[in-house]
Chain A
Amino acid sequence: DSEPEGHDEL
Chain B
Amino acid sequence: MNIFRLAGDMTHLASVLVLLLKIHTIKSCAGVSLKTQELYALVFATRYLDIFFNFVSFYNTIMKLIFLGSSFSIVWYIRRHRIVRRSYDKDQDTFRHLFLLLPCLLLALVINERFTFKEVLWTFSLYLEAVAILPQLVLLQRTRNIDNLTGQYVFLLGAYRALYILNWIYRYFTEEHYVHWITWIAGTIQTLLYGDFFYYYFQSWKNNVRLELPA
Contacts and interface: CB of A to CB of B under 8 A. Distances in A.
B64 interface: yes
B54 A10 contact: no
Given A1-B176, A1-B177, A9 B54 contact: no
Interface residues of A, number: 9
B177 A10 contact: no
Given A1-B176, A1-B177, A6 B5 contact: no
B177 A6 contact: no
B16 to A, nearest CB: 12
A9 to B, nearest CB: 7
Contacts of B12: 10
B50 interface: yes
Given A1-B176, A1-B177, A6 B67 contact: no
B98 interface: no
B110 interface: no
B122 A10 contact: no
Given A6-B56, A9-B167, A10-B63, 13 more contacts: A1-B176, A2-B177, A3-B177, A5-B54, A6-B54, A7-B50, A7-B56, A8-B60, A9-B164, A10-B9, A10-B12, A10-B60, A10-B67
Interface of B: 5, 9, 12, 50, 54, 56-57, 60, 63-64, 67, 122, 164, 167, 176-177, 183
The 4 closest A-B pairs by CB, nearest first: A6-B54, A8-B56, A3-B177, A10-B63
